[in-house]
Structure 1
Amino acid sequence: MRCELCPYRCRIRDGQRGYCQVRRNNGGRLETATFTASVAHLDAIERKPFYHFGPGSKVLTVAGPGCSFRCDYCVNHRLSQYGREEDAPWTGEPARPDELAALAHAQGAGLALSYAEPSLAPELTLALAEYARPLGVPVMWKSNGFLTPRAVDLVAPAIDAVNIDVKAAEEAPHQRLTGAPLAPVLAAVERFRAAGVWVEVSTPLIPGTSADPGQLRAIAGLLAAIDPDLPWHLLRFTPDFRMSAEDPTAPSALEDARRAGAEEGLRFVYVERALGAEGRNTRCPHCAFTVVERGIWETLDNKLADGGCPSCRAAVPGRWETQQ
C-alpha cells in the first residue's frame, strides 16, 4: 500500500507503519493513530502564532501523536517523536470531534491542531470541521507544511488558517535539520493560499541552520516572492531535546532578522517577546499607523475598521473579524 499523505509516499507492507510511525497497513486498510486527542487549556490565538487572523480570540488546542520531521530541537519531542523515541509514549484518548467542536463553541473559541504534526491527522481535521463549521468555529493548523498537493487539496476546505514553519532557504540545511526536503513546504504555502486558506509563516532561529543571517535573509526573500504581505513570525530558539546544550537566541539576532525581513520586502515581520511591543504590533504598511497593539500573548487594541487603517483607510491584509 502506498500512502499519499506526505511527499515520502511510503510503500507500507501489511502490518508495517510508515516513516511517520502513526499510519499502518492493516490487511490492506490504512489505519491512523492520530484520531486521538489531548486537549490543552485555552490558548490565545496569538500563541499559535496567528497575528492577522481573529485577533483577541481564543483557541482550544488538540494534538495527536507523530511528525513527518525529526528536528533535533523539538520542544514537543515526547509527542512528535512517537514511535521513534523511547520516552515518547502516547496516552491520549480517542477523539470525539462532536464534543470538541461543542466545547470550543461553548468557550467562544476556535479549534487548533498543534504541538505535534496536524498534517498526519487529515481524518480528524475533516471530522472536526464537519461539526465545527455549522457552529461557526474555525479550524486552524500549526504545521510543518510537508504534504503532497493531493493532501493539501483534501484538507484545505476544512481549514480556515494555517501557520507553516519554514526552517531553511536551501535543500541541504533543511534536510540536515528535518530529514526532509524543503520544496514541498514552500509549495504547500502557495497551494494553501491559492485554496483560500489564511496563511502565516514561522521561522525558528535554529543554531547551525536558520539562525544563520544569510539563511534568514534568503528565507525572507523566498516568502516576499510569494507575497510581501505574508506575516512572518521569528521564533526564539529554546534549547531542548538533542540541542539542549545550545544557547537561546539572542535578542540582537532577532532584531537583525526582523530588519532583514523588512529589507527583503516583507511588510509584516514579528517577534513574539524578546523585542517588546514593537516586535508584536501591526503597522499599516502605507502610513505606519499602529493598527493592532499586542501584549505577549494577547491583543490589547485592534483599531482596524472593516480591515482598514483608521488613519489612511488603506486595507491591511488579514482576516480581522473575531471568529464566532
Structure 2
Amino acid sequence: MAALQEVIDQLTAPGELFTREEDQRVRCTACAHRCLLKPGQRGICRVRYNQDGELRVPFGYVLSAQVDPIEKKPFAHLLPGSDALTFGMVGCNFHCDFCQNWVSAQALREPSARIGAEHLQRVTPRQLVNFALRSGAQAVVSSYNEPLITSEWAAAIFKEAHQAGLKTAYVSNGFATPEVLAYLQPHLDAYKIDLKCMREDGYRELGGHLQDVLDTIRGALDLGLWVEVVTLVIPGFNDSSEELWELSRFLVSVSKDIPWHVTAFHPDYQRLETESTPAATLQRAAEIGEEAGLRYVYAGNLPGRVGPLENTYCPHCRARLITRRGYTVQEYHITAAGTCPQCGAPIPGVWTDKPEQVRLGGWGLPRRAQF
C-alpha cells in the first residue's frame, strides 16, 4: 500500500480547487469536507495533499477504463441504448461499509484490495477520448472511485470529450461544494448522485453529512445539469417506509422529473451479514416514490423481477416509451424532439436526435481500455 501511495503521489498536478490560507496552508474545495491542509498533510480522501504550500491532485492515470452501456451507471434518461467510456482512479472521501466499488475506492485504506502500482495506467485525456471514439461510445463518465476528489483530471478529459462531440457525466456520492459544481458545470452534462439515506446519523456513519448531498442535488439541477438519483436500498439501513417517503418527498420538492433509481444491495466489502434486497422491497420503494409524485421511478439490479419498473412511460398518457431488461433497451419510441409520439408531451432527459439508430437488444461484453 505504501508503494501504491508513493506512485499515486507522483501522478499528480497542481490543483485548482482550493483557497490559500496563512502559514502555507491550503483549504481544498473539491468536496464538502473542505480539508484544511498544512504542508505535508493529505486530505480525508488521501489523494489530495499539500506539498510545500501547493495543493497536489491526481492526474494522468486511470486504474480502470472500459466501455459498457450507459444503463449500467445507471442513467435512464441519458442517451438510452448508447455506450459510455467509464474511467476511474483511486480513493474516496467516504468509507461506506457496503461499497460495491471498494477495491478501487478504498485501495489506500484496505490492503485486502490488492491494488498495486502496476495496475495503474498512465494516459492522457486525448488517449481516453480517442479510445471512446474508436469504441463508438457517445459519453465519457467518471466513476468507480469518487470523482469529486479527482475533478481537475475529469475536467481535462471532459474538455476533450466535448470537443469531440461526446456527452460527459459523473457517478458520485454528491458530497460536493458550490465551488466544485461551478468548476465542473462548463464541462459536465449529467450528474448521477447516490442519495444513501435521509438520516444525518446514517451519513456520519459513512463519513459525510446529509445536507451537503441534498444541497448538491438542488445545486446541480440549478446549474442546468441533467440529474438522476440512485438509492441502494439496504435491509435494516434505509429500507423503512418512513425513510423512503421522506426521501421521495424531498426529490419531489426539487423536481418531479428527477429519475429515481432504487437498486438492490448484495453483501459486499464489510457488510456481509446483511441479506440481499428482495424484489418486493424495491417494488415497495418504487410505489412510494410514485405515490409521492415522482414521474420516473426505476428499479434496478434485478432484471425481469420488478415488473414494469425497468421501463419508461409517458407521465401524461402512460404510453410505454422505452422497454428495458437489465442494461438492454428492447424498444425505443421517444421522438427526435424528445417527446412522446402518442400525445406529444415533452419527456425530460438527454435524448438522441436519431432515434432510429438506438441500439436494441444485446450489447456484448465490456471493452477494457489498455494504454
The TM-score by the shorter chain falls in which range? over 0.9
In 2, the alpha carbon distance for the partners of 1:129 and 1:73 equals: 29
Residue of structure 1 equivalent to 2:229: 201
Q: Secondary structure at the match of 1:242?
A: coil
Q: Does 1:312 align with 2:340?
A: no
Q: Secondary structure at the match of 2:130?
A: helix
User: Residue 84 of structure 1: CA displacement?
Assistant: 1.8
- Cα gap change, 1:224 to 1:35, in 2 (>3 Å): farther
Query: CA-to-partner distance for each residue in 1:260-285, whole Å, 9 max, x for gaps?
Result: 01111111110124334511100000
User: Residue 167 of structure 1: CA displacement?
Assistant: 0.8
State which drifts further: 166-175 or 31-40. 31-40
Is 1:277–1:295's contact at 8 Å kept on the other side of the alignment? Answer: no
Q: Does 1:135 align with 2:160?
A: no
In 2, the alpha carbon distance for the partners of 1:245 and 1:269 equals: 28
Report the number of matched residues.
Answer: 323
Query: CA-to-partner distance for each residue in 1:114-167, whole Å, 9 max, x for gaps?
Result: 111011111111111221111101111110011111111101211111100001
Query: CA-to-partner distance for each residue in 1:157-205, whole Å, 9 max, x for gaps?
Result: 11111100001112122222x1210111111111111111111000001
In 1, the alpha carbon distance for the partners of 2:64 and 2:93 equals: 21
Amino acid at match of 2:57: T
Residue 35 of structure 2, aligned match among 6, 10, 18: 10
Q: Secondary structure at the match of 1:241?
A: coil
Pairing 1:128-277 to 2, within 5 Å after superposition: 128-176=157-205, 178-274=206-302, 275-276=305-306
Residue of structure 1 equivalent to 2:325: 295
In 1, the alpha carbon distance for the partners of 2:71 and 2:57 equals: 30
Q: Secondary structure at the match of 2:330?
A: strand
User: Residue 229 of structure 1: CA displacement?
Assistant: 0.7
Q: Secondary structure at the match of 2:340?
A: coil
Residue of structure 2 equivalent to 1:58: 83
Amino acid at match of 2:313: R
In 2, the alpha carbon distance for the partners of 1:185 and 1:102 equals: 33
Is 2:279–2:306's contact at 8 Å kept on the other side of the alignment? Answer: no
State which drifts further: 142-151 or 84-93. 84-93
User: Residue 96 of structure 1: CA displacement?
Assistant: 1.1
Residue of structure 1 equivalent to 2:309: 279
Is 2:58–2:153's contact at 8 Å kept on the other side of the alignment? Answer: no
Q: Secondary structure at the match of 1:189?
A: helix
Query: CA-to-partner distance for each residue in 1:4-25, whole Å, 9 max, x for gaps?
Result: 1111111112122111111111
Q: Secondary structure at the match of 1:105?
A: helix
Moved over 6 A (4+): none
Residue of structure 1 equivalent to 2:123: 95
State which drifts further: 31-40 or 190-199. 31-40
Q: Secondary structure at the match of 1:262?
A: helix
Is 1:280–1:295's contact at 8 Å kept on the other side of the alignment? Answer: yes
In 2, the alpha carbon distance for the partners of 1:135 and 1:106 equals: 12
In 2, the alpha carbon distance for the partners of 1:218 and 1:181 equals: 16
In 2, the alpha carbon distance for the partners of 1:35 and 1:204 equals: 31
Residue of structure 1 equivalent to 2:361: none
Q: Secondary structure at the match of 2:49?
A: strand
In 2, the alpha carbon distance for the partners of 1:234 and 1:107 equals: 30
In 2, the alpha carbon distance for the partners of 1:222 and 1:171 equals: 15
Once superposed, what is the RMSD of the aligned Cα atoms?
A: 1.6
User: Residue 34 of structure 1: CA displacement?
Assistant: 5.3
In 2, the alpha carbon distance for the partners of 1:226 and 1:136 equals: 30
In 2, the alpha carbon distance for the partners of 1:35 and 1:145 equals: 23
Is 1:17–1:24's contact at 8 Å kept on the other side of the alignment? Answer: yes
Residue of structure 2 equivalent to 1:41: 66
In 2, the alpha carbon distance for the partners of 1:114 and 1:322 equals: 26
User: Residue 208 of structure 1: CA displacement?
Assistant: 3.0
Amino acid at match of 1:97: P
Amino acid at match of 2:31: C
In 1, the alpha carbon distance for the partners of 2:209 and 2:61 equals: 28
User: Residue 59 of structure 1: CA displacement?
Assistant: 0.6
In 1, the alpha carbon distance for the partners of 2:297 and 2:146 equals: 24
Residue 93 of structure 2, aligned match among 63, 68, 88: 68
User: Residue 322 of structure 1: CA displacement?
Assistant: 6.5
In 2, the alpha carbon distance for the partners of 1:57 and 1:175 equals: 37
In 2, the alpha carbon distance for the partners of 1:233 and 1:35 equals: 32
Residue 108 of structure 1, aligned match among 128, 136, 141: 136
